[in-house]
Structure 1
Amino acid sequence: MGLSFGTKAPPTALTGEVEVAGLGKKYGVIQVLKDVNLSMAEGEVVSIIGPSGAGKSTFLRCLNYLETPSEGTIAIGGAKVVAGGARLPDKASLDHLRRVTGMVFQSFNLFPHLTVMENITLPQRKVLGSSKEQAEEVANKLLKRVGLPDKASAYPARLSGGQQQRIAIARALALSPKVMLFDEPTSALDPEIGLEVLAVMRDLADEGMTMLVVTHEMHFARDVSDRIMVMGNGGVLEIGPSEQVMSAPQNERTRQFLKAVLDR
């Protein structure tokens, strides 16, 4: 499982896995997201970059209602919800939305009192109704996939940060999501350890997983993503092919941001 950043072939299935229209989020009178729009094809990888406070993580968390958006429409993998009404979307719609989106957080969020195997099998048994044997079979396959087949009986505290994040990816994949959401998955890791996680993400991209990634890893954004979405002040500054955004950004705020991060 090496890590080599090359040019990723464009997605071939144009079925529109993700459609976000007019998404907004307010905390009281403070508008933290405004009129965010995004359309993604199945198998596409989009990286979200931008300065701190731009609304990147809030946008990602709104997609599966970890944060409740104030307005807009979200459609992912056949699940569609409309925000902004007097009531939340019905439970069935929210369950469907969360079922088709897997999420990996910055802080791993593994259960410390459960083994790796238990962390991966518990969601399958609770959400999918899988038997213990079925769940363990899936878990073992996923542990091999993320390069940790010998860690099934380990507890999270005995693993490195990179290993814990790879387990978190395996846990999310165990529910067979249509779309994977990654919220700064390497920001809590040392750069060398973060490469292990990026290698798994690169493999997922090559296998055709639809992925939306909030990241500060500019090499990943440029070389693995199909497109880059740049956010600032709660909105979209620009979105376009990764190489074009990185080498010839159209927005002045994007140019300032990239100069700051690339000149470090």
Structure 2
Amino acid sequence: MALMSDQNSAPQIKEREEIVRVSNVGKSFGAHRVLEGVNLSVCSGEVLAIIGPSGSGKSTLLRCLNQLEPQTQGSVTLAGITIDAAKPATKKQLNDLRRAAGMVFQSFNLFPHLSVLQNISLPQQRVLGRSKVEADERSKALLERVGLATKADYYPVRCSGGQQQRIAIARALALDPKIMLFDEPTSALDPELGLEVLGVMKELAHGGMTMIVVTHEMHFAETVSNRVMIMADGKVLEEGPSASVMRDPQTERAKKFLQAVKNR
């Protein structure tokens, strides 16, 4: 697998086009408030890592970005498409927004009855209208990129968890998204297989892909992302340059969380 070396520096951002803006976003499930007054901005080529204790709202925020969970307050703008809680989104807005945001979940969600190649090609044919030949060509190139060129004709059950997650990444990339959203992509994997996935993510970051990563991988957060955002209780505790936030947190709650994860 042709990956970048493990550099202790985040990718350099050349252009500052804003890809994501979250303004005063809140989310409630009945009386339970999950997000409250969240604001953030992400520019092209930037990697934002979101960390924090379980139940802090990290995954919910990510799902609000692609409208799998519509926010109950505030607005989300992604790739120029704005969804405001005060106004129902149109079907076209939702389709355009989700096309612009590739999503990788904790679970792989691959179709077990389709080959690896078909899992990546079929969405391209359905969503982008590519021919089978065009889709397969793109799929094979992406499998090469994630180090799985020899697995094209396999079925997912014959692939390890790490390989299945890399296939899921290739599938998301195949739709040519403007941003990739990762929701704890290594949490279901043992450490060795997790490193395979993190290697692909590092390669994407250094290749200029805009990324928001909800993660418990603290080394990745500090050395690969440009910025780190710490959340707790549905709110943003701190946000700033990765090394500064990770090494010198300013709030007591952030200090407590980072101390806990470092002492595991």
Q: Report if TM-score (shorter chain) is over 0.5.
A: yes
Question: How many Å separate the matches in 2 of 1:3 and 1:75?
Answer: 34
Aligned-partner residue type, residue 9 of structure 2:
T
Q: Which structure 2 residues correspond to residues 78-157 of structure 1 after superposition, within 5 A? A: 78-85=80-87, 88-157=88-157
Structure 2 partner of 1:62: 64
Distance 2:71 2:86 in 1: 7
Q: Does structure 2 conserve the Cα–Cα contact (< 8 Å) formed by 1:5 and 1:220?
A: no
Deviates more, 1:143-152 or 1:3-12: 3-12
Distance in 1, matches of 2:68 and 2:199, equals 27
TM-score where L is the length of structure 1: 0.97
The one-letter amino acid of 2:165's match is Q
User: Is contact 1:55-1:232 (8 Å) kept?
Assistant: yes
Counterparts of 2:196 and 2:232, CA distance in 1:
29
CA deviation string 1:87-125 (max 9, x = no partner)? x30111111110100000001111111110110011101
How far off is 1:42 after superposition? 0.5
The match for 1:42 is: 44
Aligned mates of 1:10, 1:176 — CA distance in 2? 21
CA offset digits 1:207-227 (Å, max 9, x no partner): 100000000000000000000
- Classify the secondary structure of the residue corresponding to 1:17: strand
Deviation at 1:2, TM superposition (A): 5.4
TM-score w.r.t. length of structure 2:
0.97
1:39 positional shift: 0.6
Percent identity reads 58
Distance (whole Å) between structure 2 residues aligned to residue 9 and residue 106 of structure 1: 24
Classify the secondary structure of the residue corresponding to 2:150.
coil
RMSD: 0.9
Q: Does 1:241 align with 2:252?
A: no
SS at match of 1:33: strand
SS in structure 1 at match of 2:236? strand
SS at match of 2:213: strand
Opposite residue 104 of structure 1, the aligned amino acid is: V
How many residue pairs get aligned? The number is 262
Residue 174 of structure 1 deviates from its aligned partner by 0.3
What code does the residue aligned with 1:208 have? Answer: G
- How many Å separate the matches in 1 of 2:11 and 2:141? 26
Contact 1:48 1:215 in 2 (8 A): yes
Match of 2:10 in 1: 8
Q: Deviation digits for residues 177-222 of structure 1, max 9, x if unmatched?
A: 0000000000100101101000000000001000000000000000
Amino acid corresponding to residue 179 of structure 2 in structure 1: V
- Return the match for 2:26 from 24, 27, 33: 24
User: Which residue number corresponds to residue 222 of structure 1?
Assistant: 222
Gaps of 5+ in 2: none
List aligned pairs for 1:150-229, cutoff 5 A: 150-229=150-229
Shift of 1:3: 5.1
- What is the one-letter code of the residue matched to 2:164? Q
List 4+ stretches of structure 1 deviating above 4 A. Answer: none
User: Structure 1 stretch 68-77 or stretch 244-253: which is displaced more?
Assistant: 68-77
Shift of 1:149: 0.3
1:149 alignment partner AA: A
